[in-house]
Structure 1
Amino acid sequence: MQKIISHVFAKTVLLCFFLSNALSGCGGKKENGGISARDTTVVLATLSDIDNMNPVISSTVTASYVNGLMYPGLVKSHFDTSIGMLTFEPASASPNADRDKRSALATSWTLSEDHKTLTYKLRSDVTWDDGAPLTSHDFKFSYQLYGNPVIASVRQQYLSELVGAEKGEVDFDKAILTPDDTTLIFNFYKPVSENLALFHTGLTPVPKHRWEKVPAAEFRSSPYNSEPLGCGPYKLRKWSKQQEIVMASNANCVLPAPGNIKQIVFRVIPDYTVRLGQLQTGTVDVVESVKPEDFKNLQQANPNVEVKSVGLRVFDYVGWMNIDQHEYAKTKTVRPHPLFGSKKVRQAMTHAIDRISIIDGFLGKYGVLANTDISPTLKWAHNNKLIPHAYDPKKAAQLLEAEGWKIGADGIREKNGRKFSFTLYTNAGNNRRNYASTIIQQNLKEIGIECKLEAQESNVFFKKLQERQYDAFLAGWSVGLEIDQLDQWGSDLEKSRFNFTGFQNPRVDKLCNLAKEKLNTLDAAPYWKEYQQILHDEQPYTFLYWMKETHGFNSRIKNAEVNILSSLYNIDEWKLQGSSAAGKNVAE
């Protein structure tokens, strides 16, 4: 589960090989006059399946990868490494422009002098896969879906600056205008910076003519959620749930063009060891998050494996439920969590955890201690003056004692008859988090806290996160490169769908809004640095480590660009070495 910019072709996911009976394994059975299936297919491995194929309601990283191949984006994103800032580019109007310049829908945009109106001009040559034109009306309709409380999209916060939002409900008749098919106008109730305006108006559209007759109450259960209608370089061929997703190059795509590789298979392989083994044997072509200690043996076993690394965008953390989530679910009343409602207790938990040992034991030079959720890569906003909470079990015990948590007869701390005992949940199939969980369990035991461990299937785990069912959990974020933290920390717990811990701090709300009001993004830096100081003090999470993402690629994949935006950044441009069918399209 991660923040993903909607128009950026995503990251890597899944698999092994494909079409179980129609084709034999990776060995290269010939078909249609001598072309091997392996010549025309790339296989990626992922630890979990997608939740759906609808960008309005999907919430997993894997889904963002798949949806990114099918649905369009208004603008193209790039990352300026000199200052650590996201930048945007329009599409070229020329059909002869290079592929990258044709990968967006908007040919231009204009932000008004008062920074309250953003006007896009769209291409007129893009159609959905059924032949219907893609127009500005699809965007307005889609934003109404994102903002519909019945549908309850996790991306509602993106609409928070549109006209009417200041009164509690977006006025779509005034907020989004579509004077013609190729003009799309967004009106904000207050001035916003250009970067934020572009970021918040970049939500992925769905086709109006497909969805407009589906009642909001039936939106999440609609069969269309597994029958996507897109317009990107790939389209769905087959989805075998909990097994694999087969994507075929889209012969009709002009956004920017049909995918070079005929077929991309995302295969669900929950077990890391199995994923690694299949990369080693060549059964799969791409595996994300290869452990650094496996590089040497992997490349010795298969010299054709290349390891590509990039960072820092991803971090792991332990989330502590700040509120009594059961009481909130029943009455919407906010009360402190009986274990983790005090910031001193949360500080104690961080002091008790040996984060450096986790990094040294698993990540090595590919891990960096985390203090907050603003990456050191975002140089302009990162607060590098924060002093990390040191591993200090003695201080942790002192903080707990001060809060009334005394050691009981059985060695477990207790207060007012309640033992300090809880279950730490994480998603199954993630060896890094399993390793961290074991160290955390032992660290906490040493200061008189009982921490039980449970790994759950990924889709179940992330669903329960959103429902705030856990007291404590070990998860991670792939952070947005345009900083907008209200959806993660906003005090309005009904709107802030990613606020999994129920954290509330009025000053954080204020700082997030003040930062967004700055018309020059760099001027927001002081607010974001103060914001980080508050999180560092409050410890709603124990921030564990930032990671350089390390991915294994079979060297037969050519032209793969891995950068901080995504490990699948230009997947539609990939080619397979020696493929006589590269660039040709699969018959539909």
Structure 2
Amino acid sequence: MLGDANYLNPVIGASVTSGNVYGLIYPGLIQSDFDTTTGLLNFIAVEKSLLPLTNSGLKDQKRSAIARSWSMADDNLSITYTLRDDITWNDGTPLTAHDFRFSYELYGNPVIASPRQQYLAELVGADKGAIDFDRAIVVPDDTTLVFHFYKPVSERLALFHTSLTPVPKHIWEAVPPAEFRQSGLNQTPLGAGPYTLTSWQKQQQILLESNPLCRLPKPGNIKRIMFRIVPDYTVRLTQLQTGVVDVVENIKPEDFSGLESASADIDIKSVGLRVYDYVGWSNIDQEAYHRDGSLLPHPLFGSADVRRALTLAIDRQSIIDGYLGPYGVICSSDISPSIRWAYNNDVRPYGYDPNEAVRLLEQEGWVPGPDGIRQKDGRKFSFALYTNAGNSRRNFASVIIQQNLREIGIECRLEVQESNVFFENLRLRKLDAWMAGWSIGLEIDPLDGWGSDLEKSRFNFTGYRNSRIDELCMLAKEELDPVDARPYWMEYQEILHRDQPTTFLYWIKETQGFNRRVEGEEVNILSTFYNIDDWTLNPSATVSQ
């Protein structure tokens, strides 16, 4: 991996690496399967599935989940889960519905500031500003879990929002919310999943071992998994070529042929489109926001016309041609072409047009200064563009972006930060401009990234606020059949395209390298590691240590 996990705790973990690791440590309520034909996400419990499944889904259905079954109320105001009664946390304490209720109180606690607070937005009380947990989540007994909503909710959205990962109540209930993020328990997670944490050497490696006590999903066939943190791409590639590591994500297309002929015997697998890179522009004045909560326009990026000019000035196709090739597609919003039922084909990405960019900037009052850098009211159009260390694709793109902006009179300085520092600064909204990426949710629910309530929308790093976006997201949620929400998502994409709260760069067809001694892996849009508990190692193969 290019970066370390930030937290091995599902309540506050926000990075892809964190999710990959804690997803193996903690149990899941239900399983999911993605229908590539429609772009819809299906949900699976032990005894039932929501929709007819593809062949891969039928295979996956035999995998266990905590929920034996669920039942949606006829009025769509509640969902009831029946849980297994034979599951324990790794210290032998039974895992019950009380753990879920307790965990949801953690997810919803503003002091803890979980990035997943928006998942609780339909629970009873949320419409009045504070969830009434006594009424919203009811636990009649250890194996019955009932969620109540303040309005009718579609079954898919109910399943998506009520299946957040639980943490053990008996371990965490003594930790005050103000100490949650700093608690040493985050370094020694107690789970019930297929693997347990053996050691975590920060910025070096995370070591997991197969959990013989696990019943859901089954214990991993591979006895030990080591996540090595190697920020340098060339080093990661060399370690894959020489057999020092078995799996490396995000291989450059130009390296495919060399890897496939390497002595380590490597397979290249690709999947997409779920991940996109973007340039984030702070829409609000960060200094004013942190000083007194003011939501003033950012002095550089507060205007939609300026942000549109920045997008027009960036030659996205040249980044794709120079790095991703056929594995990149220009991006126009955060709804992926893979989400076929909701994707707006009529929204055409802006082309590279520096002349139009200059026209928009000068219309906004940004004119060339004596040194060639544009200025307005005595302020230069000069800023630092931050990104995380170790991502060669973003390093490549940022240099092109810097050059493109220089050509229209904008000074863009490049700054690289260690991954966890970078993402923590994003979380705290300390950066004015940055380059990062998203792995989107496959059930469309974007309020956590674009919602106008910045205290609840913890992934809204830009501070973008648009009441119509809020309204469209809520209207879409009210449709009991998700496909009926299509018109709302069409308009949603048009607004994001117009306002450009970020510059959407490109969708990435992810490319992963596997040593062929690993068998049974199925790369899936859900995750590179979604069936890792089914992987096996060829006993006749050897690997360097």
What is the TM-score when the length of structure 2 is the normalising length?
0.96
Match of 2:449 among 488, 493, 500: 488
TM superposition shift of 1:212: 1.1
- Deviations along 1:319-378, whole A, 9 cap, x unmatched? 111010110111111111000101110010011000000001100000001000000000
Q: Which of 42, 46, 65 is residue 20 of structure 2 equivalent to? A: 65
Aligned to 1:76: 31
Residues 103-146 of structure 1: per-residue CA shift (max 9 Å, x gap)? 21111101011111100000111110001110000000000111
Which of 486, 511, 521 aligns to 1:550? It is 511
Q: Which has the higher contact order (CA 8 A, sep 6+)?
A: 1
- Answering whether residue 46 of structure 2 is matched by residue 91 of structure 1, we say yes
Render the CA deviation track for 1:79-98: whole Å, top value 9, x for unaligned.
Answer: 011110100011149xxx98
1:103 to 22, 47, 64: 64
Instruction: Report the 3-state secondary structure (helix = DSSP H, G, I; strand = E; otherwise coil) of the residue aligned with 1:436.
Output: helix
- SS, match of residue 102 in structure 1: coil
Is 2:14 the partner of 1:53?
A: no
1:340 paired residue among 301, 308, 313: 301
Three-state SS of the structure 1 residue aligned to 2:62 is helix
Alpha-carbon distance, 1:65 to partner: 0.8
Alignment-mate amino acid for residue 123 of structure 1: R
Deviation at 1:387, TM superposition (A): 2.0
Secondary structure at 2:472's aligned position in 1? helix
The answer for the alignment partner of 2:89 in structure 1 is: 128
Q: Indicate the residue corresponding to 2:331 in structure 1.
A: 370
Q: CA deviation at 1:154?
A: 1.0
Offset at residue 100 of structure 1 (A): 4.7
User: Is 1:401 the counterpart of 2:356 in the alignment?
Assistant: no
Question: For 2:504, what is the secondary structure of its paired residue?
Answer: strand
Describe the superposition over 1:478-509 as per-residue Cα deviations: whole angstroms up to 9, x where unpaired. 00000001000000111110001000000000
* Matching residue within 161, 168, 174 for 2:129: 168
* One of 337, 348, 351 as aligned partner of 1:390: 351
Measure, in 1, the Cα distance between the counterparts of 2:59 and 2:317.
Answer: 46
User: 1:10-409 to 2 correspondence within 5 Å?
Assistant: 46-92=1-47, 100-302=61-263, 304-409=265-370
String of CA shifts for 1:221-272, please: whole Å, max 9, x gaps. 1111111110111001111111111100101111122110110000110111
Alignment check: 8 A CA contact 2:45 2:61 kept? no
Residue of structure 1 aligned with 2:425, choices 464, 479, 486: 464
Distance 2:4 2:535 in 1: 23
Q: Which amino acid aligns with 1:198?
A: L
CA contact (8 A) 2:330 2:506 kept: yes
CA distance in 1, matches of 2:244, 2:348: 46
CA contact (8 A) 1:162 1:170 kept: yes
Q: Which structure 2 residues correspond to residues 440-459 of structure 1 after superposition, within 5 A? A: 440-459=401-420
Q: Which runs of 5+ in 2 are unaligned?
A: 49-57
Q: 2:381 aligns with which of 401, 420, 445?
A: 420
Percent same amino acid at aligned positions? 64
Q: Is the Cα–Cα contact under 8 Å of residues 99 and 256 in structure 1 kept in the other structure?
A: no
Partner SS state of residue 531, structure 1: helix
Gap runs ≥5 in structure 1: 1-45, 582-588
Amino acid in structure 1 at the alignment position of 2:538: Q
Residue in 1 aligned with 2:527? 566
What's the RMSD between the two structures over aligned residues?
1.4
Secondary structure in 2 matching 1:277: helix
Q: Does the 8 Å contact 1:99/1:257 carry over to 2?
A: no
Query: 1:300 deviation in Å?
Result: 2.2
- 1:302 and 1:412 map into 2 onto residues whose CA distance is 52
User: Does structure 2 retain, via aligned residues, the 8 Å contact 1:368–1:546?
Assistant: yes
Q: How many residues align?
A: 533
- Choose the corresponding residue for 1:508, options 456, 463, 469: 469
Q: Is the contact between residue 116 and residue 191 of structure 1 (CA under 8 Å) also seen in structure 2?
A: yes
What's 1:16 paired with? none
**In 2, distance between residues paired with 1:404 and 1:345?**
10
1:539 maps to: 500
Q: CA deviation at 1:303?
A: 5.7
Give the AA of the match of 2:231. P
Aligned to 2:483: 522
Partner-residue secondary structure (3-state), 1:245? strand
Match of residue 439 from structure 2: 478
The alpha carbon displacement at 1:99 in A equals: 7.4
Structure 1 window deviating more from structure 2 (255-264 vs 428-437): it is 255-264
Mapped to 1, the partners of 2:379 and 2:234 lie a distance apart of 40
Residue 544 to residue 188, structure 1, CA distance change in 2 (3 Å)? same
Segment drifting more, 294-303 vs 464-473: 294-303
Letter matched to residue 256 of structure 2: F
The answer as to whether partners of 1:407 and 1:414 remain within 8 angstroms in 2 is yes
**Contact 2:312 2:351 (C-alpha < 8 Å) held by counterparts:** yes
Task: Report if aligned partners of 1:92, 1:101 keep a CA contact under 8 Å in 2.
Answer: no
Deviations for 1:493-534, whole angstroms, at most 9, x for unmatched residues? 111100010000000000000000101110001001100000
Please tell me the residue identity of whatever aligns with 2:539.
G
Aligned AA (2:89): W
Where 1:73 maps in the other structure, the secondary structure is coil
Distance in 2 (alpha carbons) for counterparts of 1:559 and 1:219: 38
- The code of the aligned residue for 2:19 comes to S
In structure 1, the residue corresponding to 2:18 is in which secondary structure? Answer: helix
Provide the TM-score with structure 1 as the length reference: 0.89
Amino acid at match of 1:356: Q
Residue identity in the other structure for 1:67: Y
